[in-house]
A and B are shown apart, each in its own frame.
Chain A
Amino acid sequence: MVPRKFEYFAPTSLKDATALLKKYGSDAKLLAGGMSLIPVMKLRLGSPQYIVDLNRIPGLEYVKTVGGNILIGALTRHYAIETSKVAREKAPILCETARWIGDPQVRNMGTIGGSLSHCDPSGDWGAAIVALRGSVKLKGPSKDRTVKIDDFLVDTFTSALKDNEILTEVSVPVPPPRSGGAYMKLERRSGDFATVAVAVQLSLDAKGTCSYAGIGLTALGSKNLRASKAEAALMGRQLTTQVIEEASDAAAEDAQPMPDPLRGSAEYKKEMAKVYTKRGLDLAVKRAKRGK
């Protein structure tokens, strides 16, 4: 499998990279981990004329907390997040999500920024960042902007990135005490894309009432959707078995799956959305109660 010819650039600063994007516009593609882009090029599903490799730009791989936020550099590899102490302490759902992506070799190369920019509705990061109500920082030729994840993910393989912009950072608020999250994924075999997956993030107040609910869905629509009705069914309530069941039913309503000849009918996926939301909520409640 040989991709079509392209010209290759390896800029060493974001400034140089944005200059290349300005010059070549939509004929250029950014290369991060390449775990989606390179297979796409090898299968000739896409054949960009210019490849701008971001990997020589220093300072884009980190997981750190600043103020009340966890900041993740766009080139941070999935494996680095999976094993990040900061992520494990502050928002373990990030580690749990990373662990479900591809296989170890893919996680050694693939990046969170590349994954989000690719906007695959079966991508795992989108759901987790939706559940955490995160945002992304986009660098343009003259100015930067910050976009909420719900607005960044536009449609299948379509993000809010303009041709001359680069995603440089992912930011999620540090969950308060008594928070818990879970990423639950159904796959046909290890390392496959999700049949369905659900990211759940909850916070409880001192009386055990739900004070935060974030639910992101994977492979259940044209992009990673927010399960808004399910979130509303949880907010301000004691998370009893009945409330969790109501929310799980609501998540199945929120889901808008397309039938997938490999991974199941829309009906099946909706049913699994319910089951996996319930399992995710049960686990997240348990973890939130344990959380200091």
Chain B
Amino acid sequence: MAKRTQSHTDELQVVKVNINGVDYVRGVEPRLLLVHFIRDIAELTGTHVGCETSNCGACTVILNGRSVKSCSMFAVQANGAKIQTIEGLAKNGELHPIQNAFWENHGLQCGFCTPGMIMQAYWFLKENPNPSDDEIRMGLVGNLCRCTGYQNIIKSVKAASKEMRG
């Protein structure tokens, strides 16, 4: 990488995103990561920062319909985007079927990985509404849990898929 010779502008760039139906507009440094926009500016702290190296998936959100790791993109990249986070799943005080399935099947212990697990499951079940256990494992391979041993997470997603198919 070439040596940096110039000083850098501190100019902020305006980012406008819609998170769970609400618009947020803020001038930010281009280096601000999306996850920090979500947590510190939108104050939606359900999205977690785990490893910060795109391994653990705790920061997973839905960006324009695709699950992404929000620690591995800049907020400026999301300008104009529609984002869904864990806070957007429950409707009128009713848990989303995936949230409910995690509750019913003990799909969490400490809960740190849970928002990422659920958001990834949310995207995955849209792509594959009737998955096998193996397919669920491959669908959640980018999300790490250090408590449950995964069995109950798989069970939860399976139960949610049944519930959602009706």
B60 in the interface, Cβ–Cβ < 8 Å? yes
Q: A7-B8, A190-B141, A191-B142 are in contact. Are A106 and B29 (CB under 8 A)?
A: no
Report yes or no: A27 in contact with B31, Cβ–Cβ below 8 A.
no
* B93 nearest CB across to chain A (Å): 29
Report yes or no: B6 in contact with A49, Cβ–Cβ below 8 A.
yes
A42 to B55, CA, bound (A): 14
Residues of B within 8 A of A208 (CB): none
A48 in the interface, Cβ–Cβ < 8 Å? yes
* A82 nearest CB across to chain B (Å): 11
Identify B67's interface contact among A10, A38, A53, A108, CB under 8 A.
A108
B162 in the interface, Cβ–Cβ < 8 Å? no
Q: Which residue of B lies closest to A2 (CB)?
A: B31
Digit string of A104-143 for contact with B (CB within 8 Å is 1, else 0)? Answer: 1110110000000000000000000000000000000000
Residues of A within 8 A of B139 (CB): 104
Residue of B2, B5, B11, B123 with highest tally of chain A CB at under 10 A = B2
Residues of A within 8 A of B105 (CB): none
Q: A26-B2, A55-B77, A103-B141 are in contact. Are A35 and B54 (CB under 8 A)?
A: yes
Total number of B residues with any Cβ neighbor in A under 8 Å: 37
Residues of B within 8 A of A102 (CB): 142
Identify A34's interface contact among B30, B53, B77, CB under 8 A.
B77
Residues of A within 8 A of B4 (CB): 4, 27, 47, 49
Identify B76's interface contact among A4, A10, A39, CB under 8 A.
A10
Report yes or no: A8 in contact with B30, Cβ–Cβ below 8 A.
yes
Identify A6's interface contact among B5, B30, B73, CB under 8 A.
B30
Residues of B within 8 A of A38 (CB): 54, 72-74
Report yes or no: A105 in contact with B68, Cβ–Cβ below 8 A.
yes
* B127 nearest CB across to chain A (Å): 8
A264 in the interface, Cβ–Cβ < 8 Å? no
* B85 nearest CB across to chain A (Å): 14
* A197 nearest CB across to chain B (Å): 17
Report yes or no: A105 in contact with B2, Cβ–Cβ below 8 A.
no
A87 to B30, CA, bound (A): 36
B92 in the interface, Cβ–Cβ < 8 Å? no
Q: Which of B122-141 contact A (CB under 8 A)?
A: 123-124, 138-139, 141
29 contacts between A and B (CB under 8 A): A2-B31, A5-B8, A5-B29, A6-B8, A6-B31, A7-B9, A8-B13, A8-B74, A8-B76, A26-B2, A27-B2, A27-B4, A34-B74, A38-B74, A39-B72, A41-B31, A43-B53, A49-B6, A53-B76, A77-B66, A102-B142, A103-B143, A105-B142, A106-B142, A108-B66, A108-B67, A109-B69, A190-B141, A191-B141
